């Protein structure tokens, strides 16, 4: 059943002609931002990006230029926002939530749907070209660009997930090539934020879109390459968490194949060792760790009691006569390869103990 077919939705549609344009603009923007919206965010979007409903992405640029050159226009927009909010709340089209920092929500999700559907859906032309009146995807896209530019695209941004969501809603219709790699990055950062919030479904949802945006040519780009490695490393962790070990193995093998630098190969081998340790296959974990150490110039002999005793005696000879104070004043290790090898040796010692205690 169509969501807008209820009596309440029909009533709102019948009243559309009597709703002032500035109130209608407020409600439409709110519909794109969510069911419950922070009041400060809604004011910022209304004031600085309200023209997206008419001009799409161009509306942001036009509005930005006007606000930079005309303080009166800025004040007028803020006054218009307050009037629109007052009208919408008094007419029960929005409900105010909270005291000190107000937020607003729609009294019913069908009311939000009606406002959302006032913006035309993407037709065949919009799927191939970003022309004509703004479609829903174009409005999502423009709002995403605005939120990204206004609040930033790092994981410290308060609206990173919202900006990423807006852009994701449009990425199949009118994504500019110049925004593709930044959007991959935003999806990666959003997946990290979702993970920190224990929102497991969102972790994969964001990362999956980032993966889908990757093109084969990106692996040849020095700019995109580190980002792609990060995507694949997170992907491996997710597949491990899901228990899809064959998939995680295939992804690690792909990282090894794509690696441009020895350090990247080492990181991939260490990751692969961890995937084996999760499955309690410690002999394979040791083998992969040994491969990584070999690249770093560290030869790890096969385990046997003779070799073990020999290394213990050698270590004793090296530290003979040294005091605790002498140890604490040793110079910091400067060899980058050895610094990278130390944590691998620490991990492989655990694998060795668990494999043959």
pTM for the full predicted model: 0.80
174 and 243 assigned to the same domain: no
pLDDT tens per residue, range 99-140? 665 899 999 888 999 999 999 987 645 444 455 578 999 999
| Residue that wins the pLDDT comparison between 172 and 170 | 170
Whether 116 and 258 map to the same domain: the answer is: no
Task: Give the rounded percent of residues in the chain with a pLDDT score beyond 90.
Answer: 49
Asked if residue 13 and residue 153 are part of one domain, the reply reads: yes
- Whether residue 1 is predicted with pLDDT greater than 50 in this model: the reply is no
Residue 105 lies in a domain: yes
Residue 53 and residue 159 in one domain = yes
Residue 193 covered by a domain: no
Residue 6: the pLDDT is 55
Domain CATH number, residue 327 = 1.25.40
What's the pLDDT band for 192 if we cut at 50, 70, 90?
Answer: very high
pLDDT value of residue 98: 77
Task: State the pLDDT confidence band at 7, using cuts at 50, 70 and 90.
Answer: low
pLDDT for the residue 315:
74
Q: How far from 256 is each of 75, 99, 162, CA to CA, in Å?
A: 57, 55, 34
Q: How far apart are CA 242 and CA 235, in angstroms?
A: 11
Residue indicated by tokens 């852009």? 167
| DSSP code string of 157-191 | -TTHHHHHHHHHHHTTTS--HHHHHHHHHHHHHHH
Query: How many Å separate Cα 113 from the centre of its chain?
Result: 26
Q: Quickly count: other Cβ atoms within 10 Å of residue 258's Cβ.
A: 15
| Spatial separation of the C-alpha atoms in residues 128 and 1, rounded to whole Å | 30
172 and 229 together in one domain = no
Judge whether 41 lies within some domain. Answer: yes
Final residue of a structural domain among 140, 160, 178: 178
Q: How many CB atoms within 10 Å of residue 293?
A: 21
Residues with Cβ within 8 Å of 3's Cβ and at least 6 positions away in sequence, in order, are: 9, 109, 110, 113
Same domain, 236 and 317: yes
Higher pLDDT, 87 or 63: 87
pLDDT at 54 over 80: yes
DSSP secondary structure letters along 251-279 = HHHHHHHH--SHHHHHHHHHHHHHHHHHT
Structural domain total, the chain: 2
Query: Is there a domain that residue 208 lies in?
Result: no
Q: pLDDT for 59-79, tens place per residue?
A: 666 555 554 555 555 667 778
Tokens of 307: 């070799």
Burial class for 74, CB neighbours closer than 10 Å (0-12, 13-18, 19+): middle
CA distances for 105 relative to 14, 152, 156, 218, 341, angstroms: 21, 25, 25, 41, 54
pLDDT at position 335: 85
Evaluate whether residue 213 is within a structural domain: no
- The DSSP output letter for 92 is T
Q: Which candidate, 284, 275, 280, places its Cα nearest to that of 255?
A: 275
Cross-sheet strand order for the sheet of 103-105:
36-38, 103-105, 95-97
- 279 within some domain: yes
- In this prediction, residue 39 carries a pLDDT of 92
Expressed as residue numbers, the domain containing 240 is 225-355
Within 10 Å of residue 77's Cβ, how many Cβ atoms? 19
- Domain check: are 12 and 151 in the same one? yes
244 and 136 inside one domain: no
Q: Are 81 and 144 in the same domain?
A: yes
pLDDT at residue 158, rounded to an integer = 92
- Position 127 scores a pLDDT of 45
- Does residue 257 lie in a domain region? yes
DSSP label at residue 335: -
Mean pLDDT of the chain: 85
């Amino acid at each position: 059943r169509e969501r807008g077919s209820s009596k309440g939705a029909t009533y709102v549609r019948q009243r559309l002609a009597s709703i002032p344009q500035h109130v209608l603009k407020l409600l439409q923007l709110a519909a794109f931002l969510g069911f419950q919206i922070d009041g400060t965010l809604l004011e910022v979007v209304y004031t600085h990006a309200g023209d997206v409903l008419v001009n799409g992405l161009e509306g942001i640029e036009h509005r930005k230029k006007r606000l930079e050159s005309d303080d009166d226009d800025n004040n007028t927009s803020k006054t218009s926002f307050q009037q629109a909010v007052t009208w919408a709340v008094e007419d029960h089209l929005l409900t105010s939530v909270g005291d000190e920092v107000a937020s607003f929500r729609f009294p019913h999700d069908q009311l939000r749907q009606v406002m959302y559907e006032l913006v035309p859906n993407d037709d065949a032309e919009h799927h191939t070209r970003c022309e004509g009146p703004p479609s829903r995807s174009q409005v999502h896209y423009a709002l995403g660009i605005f939120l990204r530019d206004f609040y930033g695209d790092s994981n410290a941004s308060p609206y990173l997930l919202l900006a990423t969501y807006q852009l994701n809603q449009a990425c199949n219709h009118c994504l500019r090539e110049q925004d593709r790699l930044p959007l991959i990055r935003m999806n990666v950062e959003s997946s990290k934020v979702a993970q920190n919030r224990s929102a497991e479904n969102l972790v994969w949802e964001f990362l999956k879109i980032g993966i889908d945006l990757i093109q084969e040519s990106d692996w040849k780009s020095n700019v995109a390459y580190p980002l792609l490695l990060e995507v694949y490393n997170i992907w491996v962790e997710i597949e491990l968490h899901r228990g899809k070990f064959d998939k995680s193995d295939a992804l690690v093998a792909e990282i090894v194949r794509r690696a441009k630098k020895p350090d990247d190969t080492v990181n991939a081998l260490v990751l692969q060792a961890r995937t084996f340790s999760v499955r309690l296959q410690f002999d394979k974990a040791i083998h992969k760790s040994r491969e990584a150490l070999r690249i770093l110039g560290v030869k790890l002999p096969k385990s046997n009691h003779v070799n073990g005793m020999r290394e213990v005696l050698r270590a004793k000879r090296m530290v003979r006569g040294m005091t605790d104070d002498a140890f604490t004043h040793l110079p910091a290790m400067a060899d980058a390869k050895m610094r990278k090898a130390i944590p691998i040796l620490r991990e492989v010692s655990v694998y060795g103990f668990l494999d043959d205690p």
